[in-house]
Structure 1
Amino acid sequence: MTGGGLYTSRADIYCRHSAVGTTSGITGVSCDAAADLPLTGFCTEHETQLLHLASDPTNNGWPGNSIFPAAITCIWTDNTGTAVNTLTTSQAHICCIKHP
């Protein structure tokens, strides 16, 4: 039995992943369209040094309606809060529901 909402099939769910690595310290990825509903998003890295996210990666178009697709933006810092630009393993991930 399906509900009466817009999203009634698992086929409507999709995930996107950014390229691996960055020389700017930022990796990001978005849903395909502004009307698509973001479900989850996260940042990964496997660097040898201890890193922290500089800000909430889901703060990109998730609350409210937007003319831009919801996005994940990963900005990394080291233990002292200094930005780390070159990351060979950083990646952003997002899963969304396609709006019909």
Structure 2
Amino acid sequence: LAALAGSQLRTNHTNRQQPAANNQTHEMTVPNELIGCIIGKGGTKIAEIRQISGAMIRISNCEEREGGATDRTITITGNPDSVALAQYLINM
């Protein structure tokens, strides 16, 4: 993760200055019981993913689904490279 972070931080630093018109949004649904692994203790892991990817990441509150299952929606917004990297890091 650290090696990936070093190369991506240089790339994403310049990408953040691109116009917002190039931004895209992607939504992921994650079971509530797994969301803690993504957020990390005190929010450290999600903060690291935000910093490395340069994407804006929002995690919804619990949503009731059919059958009583609860899911959380993760919304990732940024340039295409930032969104793809954030998705990759979340799925690790």
The TM-score with structure 1 as length reference comes to 0.32
* Bigger relative contact order, structure 1 or 2 (CA pairs below 8 A, ≥6 apart): 1
Which has the larger strand fraction? 1
Which has the larger helix fraction? 2
